[in-house]
Amino acid sequence: MQTVLRVVSTKTEAKKSTFLCFLCPICEFKALHEQLKAEHPKAAHVVWALRERNGYGQIVENQSDDGEPKGTSGQPSLNALRGAQLVNAGALIVRYFGGIKLGTGGLVRAYGAAVNAAIEEAEGCGALAKFEIKSLCVFFTPYALGSRFEHYFEKRNLSFEREFNEEGTIWRAEFNSAEFEEFQAFASGFEQEGFKFYALPLAARE
């Protein structure tokens, strides 16, 4: 399996209809979808498809024809993502109608070709990478340790979420095996100052 590291866009045409395809990481999908709808109000359709791995290790798929005939756009777009074994990735395709109807088969080919073109572009510019399985870790720090842990994550470009309560901060982050091993070595030095794990990632068992 592989994933996409950043947004990659391409432009293809079929019988005067223009297809703008945007391949993106799943974390950017929702915002990009809203952005494209706002930037292309005159577009006939904004079709999309996505594949993401949930917390149970299952790959969840979804797609939308956005007004195109059922099965002619979202499904072939999803099939292109499947064919490239992409996960935690989405494709959004903005279509400008050129005045000539493509027919059912033509639409299927055009949308599939649009997504495949974006995948090829992503591969060519180094935007595709092997997908690493990560799992969730939940831990607590007193407020006094907050800046140290924030610096740790930012320095390594690791994403995190956190919520605050009266005692301190509850953090949620995902690690692969190597990342968790390094983090555990760092965090263990703060146990006497109040750091503690709430939930260990699956990587801790490897």
Confidence at residue 178, expressed as pLDDT on a 0 to 100 scale: 87
Residue 85 Ramachandran class (φ > 0 left, ψ -120 to 50 alpha, else beta): left
27-47 confidence digits (pLDDT tens): 899 999 999 999 999 999 999
- C-alpha 206 chain-centroid distance: 25
- Amino acid found at 182: E
Residue 68 tokens read as 């195109």
Residue 132 tokens read as 């690493």
Average pLDDT of the residues in 158-175 = 92
Instruction: Reply yes or no on whether the pLDDT at 48 is more than 70.
Output: yes
Confidence at residue 202, expressed as pLDDT on a 0 to 100 scale: 75
54-101 confidence digits (pLDDT tens): 866 789 999 999 999 999 999 999 999 999 999 999 999 999 999 999
Instruction: Reply yes or no on whether the pLDDT at 144 is more than 60.
Output: yes
Domains belonging to the chain, first-starting first, are: 2-130 (3.30.230.30), 135-204 (3.30.70.240)
Q: Is 174 helix (H, G, I), strand (E, B) or coil?
A: strand
Instruction: Reply yes or no on whether the pLDDT at 201 is more than 90.
Output: no
Three-point CA angle 9, 1, 205, nearest 5° = 130
| Phi, psi angles (nearest 5°) of residue 57 | 80, 10
| Phi, psi angles (nearest 5°) of residue 85 | 55, 40
pTM: 0.71
Instruction: Reply yes or no on whether the pLDDT at 205 is more than 60.
Output: no
107-137 confidence digits (pLDDT tens): 999 999 999 999 999 999 999 998 877 788 9
Residue 171 to residues 71, 150, 166, 200: CA-CA distances in angstroms? 41, 10, 14, 12
Write down the mean pLDDT value for the chain.
93
